[in-house]
Amino acid sequence: MAVGSFDFTIAIGGEAGQGIATPGDILARIFVRRGLHLNTYNAYQSIIRGGHIFLYLRVCDEEIYTHGDKLDILMCLNQDTMDRHLQLMRPGSWVLYNEDNIKPGEAGDGVQLCPLPVTKLSVTRNRLSQNTMAVGSAAHLLGLDFQVLEESLTLRFQRQGQAVIDENVSVARAGYDHSVANFEAFDQTVPTGPKPLAVWSGNEALAMGGAAAGVKFYAAYPMSPATGVLHWMAQNARNLGIMVRQVEDEIGVANMVIGAAHTGCRAMCATSGGGFALMTEAVGSAAMMEIPAVFIDVMRAGPSTGVPTKTEQGDLWQVLGASQGDFERFIVAPTTPVDCFNTMPELFNLTDKYQCPGIVVSDLLLSEGRFSIAPDLIDMHPHIDRGELITKGSSTDGYMRYKDTETGISPRALPGLEGYVHVVATDEHDENSQLLSDEFTNPHKRRKMVEKRARKFKVAIEDIKPPELEGPADAEITLIGWGSTYGVIREAVEILAQQGVAVNHLAIKWIVPFHGEAITEILSKSKRVVVVENSFSGQFYRYMRSETGLSVDGHIRKYDGEPFIPHHIVDGVKAHLAEKIECFVPYQEAIT
């Protein structure tokens, strides 16, 4: 990153059902169409009405990777929001609220309280007026032309007709004008980026990456925070010719995906931890039958039902331990939204080549966050390699589905082709897929088949890029993270650099196969190694140690449901530099 010259965060808080999404959306669109980068995080609950929802919209003229550490505008839709967050506002910030029903608290120095007389100014009795009025005011505070907002409102309410547009525009106008007359605006002008950006979530990136990879079959059972993938797929099914099915449960989902994959479809599904628990048996069966298929686990805070709307990196060992026995499968944890997208075609090529399941590990932060993206970074026509796939009938005799080849990879024929009739089986089988138990359970045949399958993975690591160290070689501390913490560690490293603390960063994306040797080599040069994880028990650290034997010097961990923001890591690094501690757990301030 390098925080840009314009770096601004708006937060909107209220309860579920107060319509926080709409003002958020309207503002987001304005910024990205202007070519600015966006990173949003929505702190919400597993309820449809009530509770406390807090949406962060961070906008910047350079690329950003987190929703940041500071708030510039706080839009309070209810008293609760005012009470919880006012104390966090720093000098130079604004607090917008409906003066009719919200009492401001004691604001800190330099915090501008901006009461809106909503009832007085409103042309309508619509209970959502306060939202629109606040948006109008925020537009002024940011120094935006009202016209820009008007365009955005028009687009947003297009489908609801002119009357709704007019109503919203006039309410927003009232807020804007009131703000002009009463509040002091931002002293910077909002810059414009080189070209308009698009918006997506990590889930949409995963879905689109799948579509680009050629997914023809998607099945799901709804589960937060993975449901976004289903919604995107369902919406685009007909356009893209993808069969999308909602199934009775996750067991059905996983097995249906395997059935479709066996007939040649690139097939996938997404769920969260509890649903993935139900899929594990099927994952093992795909490995044994040597059918490629992709399973996504979007982690949320556990254990069990846990905190359905909160983030965590707590499913790593579940994914590693999915299903009984030893078997081959890829496990990958994308690091950014673009990486979510790019991972999919890469993973499908690998699972096709090595004929085994692939598992993607994402989390709520990455999957449900909404981010700007430059459309030209989205390659909808990636390289597709289906490996040794037989797709044409033949009259050759002697086809053996599980032929014991040098690489362990056996040419795979799709059902329906003449000349390749065969059975696949979850029981151990011989090269010709005859069950070992059918005659006599031959230990030598058994050993041969285990080794055949395992051989596939002897070389798979070569198809995967080893992780690379980012930052100065002679850093005081090396931070290691995996998956979604990439962004926050990256930003923390830059902040620390600005503060004169040299830290570097090793981000791990591929879990299986694991580049243990490369990692050991890199870390052997580090002065001090600290692992950053969004879990209580340090699942990644323990896994890394299982594969490398490496011990480290300290940990930064968080398991309260809220994601890391950069200063948590910054504080952690400083704490580790100041004294020898084992584990730093940052205090979650924003919402008490």
Partner 1 sequence: MATTMPATDDKPVIPLTARDFKGLVDPDWCAGCGDFGVLNALQRSCAELGLRPHEILTVSGIGCSSNLPGYFNSYGMHTLHGRSLAVATGAKLGNHRLHVIVTGGDGDGYGIGGNHFTHTARRNVDLTYVVMNNQIYGLTTGQISPTSTMGMKTKSTPFGSVEAPLNPITSAIMNGATFVARGFSGDVRHLTELMKQAIQHSGFSLIDIFSPCVTFNHDNSNAFFKERIKKLEDEGHDTNDWKTACEKAMLFGDTIYTGLFFQKQAPTLGGSEPVLEPDEPLGLQTLGLDKEQTKRIIERMM
CB 279 within 8 A of CB 286: no
Contact region with ligand TPP (CB under 6 A), list: 53-61, 236-244, 270-278, 552-560: 270-278
**Minimum distance from CB of 373 to partner 1 (Å)?**
7
By CB under 6 A, name the one of 23, 275, 554, 561 that touches ligand TPP.
275
How far is 12 from 96, CA to CA, in rounded Å? 9
How far is 196 from 201, CA to CA, in rounded Å? 17
* Among partner 1, its own copies, ligand TPP, none, residue 112 binds (CB under 5-8 Å by kind): none
Q: Is 362 in the site for its own copies (CB under 8 A)?
A: no
Report strand pairing: 554-557 vs 529-533. parallel
By CB under 8 A, name the one of 88, 128, 247, 518 that touches partner 1.
247
* Closer of 25 and 547 to its own copies (Cβ): 547
DSSP calls for 246-302: E-SSHHHHHHHHHHHHHTT-EEEEEE-HHHHHHHHHHHHHHHHHT--EEEEEEE-B-
* Closer of 45 and 236 to its own copies (Cβ): 45
**Minimum distance from CB of 232 to ligand TPP (Å)?**
17
* Among ligand TPP, partner 1, its own copies, none, residue 496 binds (CB under 5-8 Å by kind): none
Q: Is 218 in the site for ligand TPP (CB under 6 A)?
A: no
By CB under 8 A, name the one of 72, 315, 430, 494 that touches its own copies.
315
Q: Is 400 in the site for partner 1 (CB under 8 A)?
A: no
Which three-class secondary structure state does DSSP give residue 60? strand
- Strand partners for 11: 56, 74
Residues 296-315 interacting with ligand TPP (rule: CB under 6 A): 305
CB 490 within 8 A of CB 505: yes
**Minimum distance from CB of 232 to partner 1 (Å)?**
9
Contact pattern from residue 363 through residue 402 relative to its own copies, giving x for each residue in contact according to CB under 8 A and a dash for the rest? ----------------------------------------
Q: What is the residue type of 397?
A: D
* Among partner 1, its own copies, ligand TPP, none, residue 371 binds (CB under 5-8 Å by kind): none
Contact pattern from residue 278 through residue 307 relative to partner 1, giving x for each residue in contact according to CB under 8 A and a dash for the rest? ---xx--x---x--------------xx--
By CB under 8 A, name the one of 119, 189, 263, 499 that touches partner 1.
263
**Minimum distance from CB of 11 to ligand TPP (Å)?**
28
> Which residue's CB atom is positioned nearest to ligand TPP?
223
Q: Total number of residues binding partner 1 (CB under 8 A)?
A: 105
How far is 364 from 377, CA to CA, in rounded Å? 23
Q: What is the residue type of 355?
A: Q
How far is 589 from 513, CA to CA, in rounded Å? 38
Among 226, 222, 229, 224, smallest CA distance to 250 is for 222
Contact region with ligand TPP (CB under 6 A), list: 130-138, 192-200, 272-280, 447-455: 272-280
By CB under 8 A, name the one of 74, 301, 424, 488 that touches partner 1.
424
Q: Which residues contact 561 (CB under 8 A, 6 or more apart)?
A: 301, 307, 310, 311, 312
In the block, residue with structure tokens 């504080």? 571
Q: Total number of residues binding ligand TPP (CB under 6 A)?
A: 8
DSSP 226: T
How far is 177 from 120, CA to CA, in rounded Å? 13
Residues 221-240 interacting with ligand TPP (rule: CB under 6 A): 221-223
Residue 187: count other Cβ atoms within 10 Å of its Cβ: 7
Omega before residue 303 within 30° of 0, cis? yes
**Minimum distance from CB of 304 to its own copies (Å)?**
4
Q: Is 508 in the site for its own copies (CB under 8 A)?
A: no
Phi-psi map region of 267: left, alpha, beta (phi>0 left; psi -120 to 50 alpha): beta
How far is 261 from 268, CA to CA, in rounded Å? 8
- Determine the straight-line distance between the first and last CA of the chain, rounded to whole angstroms: 29
Contact pattern from residue 60 through residue 99 relative to its own copies, giving x for each residue in contact according to CB under 8 A and a dash for the rest? --------------------x-------------------
**Minimum distance from CB of 432 to its own copies (Å)?**
17
Residues 532-551 interacting with its own copies (rule: CB under 8 A): 535-537, 539, 542-543, 545-547, 549-551
* Among its own copies, partner 1, ligand TPP, none, residue 162 binds (CB under 5-8 Å by kind): none
* Closer of 321 and 500 to its own copies (Cβ): 321
Output the CA–CA distances (angstroms, integers) from residue 30 to 71, 190, 192, in the order listed.
Answer: 19, 11, 11
**Minimum distance from CB of 331 to its own copies (Å)?**
11
* Closer of 94 and 217 to partner 1 (Cβ): 217
By CB under 8 A, name the one of 393, 441, 517, 525 that touches partner 1.
393
DSSP 305: T
How far is 58 from 72, CA to CA, in rounded Å? 9
Residues 206-225 interacting with partner 1 (rule: CB under 8 A): 208, 211-214, 216-217, 219-224
Q: Is 47 in the site for its own copies (CB under 8 A)?
A: yes
DSSP 461: G
Alpha helix positions (H), 434-565: 443-460, 486-498, 516-523, 539-548
Phi-psi map region of 117: left, alpha, beta (phi>0 left; psi -120 to 50 alpha): beta
Residues 414-453 interacting with its own copies (rule: CB under 8 A): 425-428, 435-444, 446-447, 450
Residue 56 — φ and ψ, nearest 5°?
Answer: -100, 130
Q: Is 51 in the site for its own copies (CB under 8 A)?
A: yes
Alpha helix positions (H), 34-115: 79-85
Residues that bind ligand TPP (CB under 6 A): 221-223, 250, 274-275, 278, 305
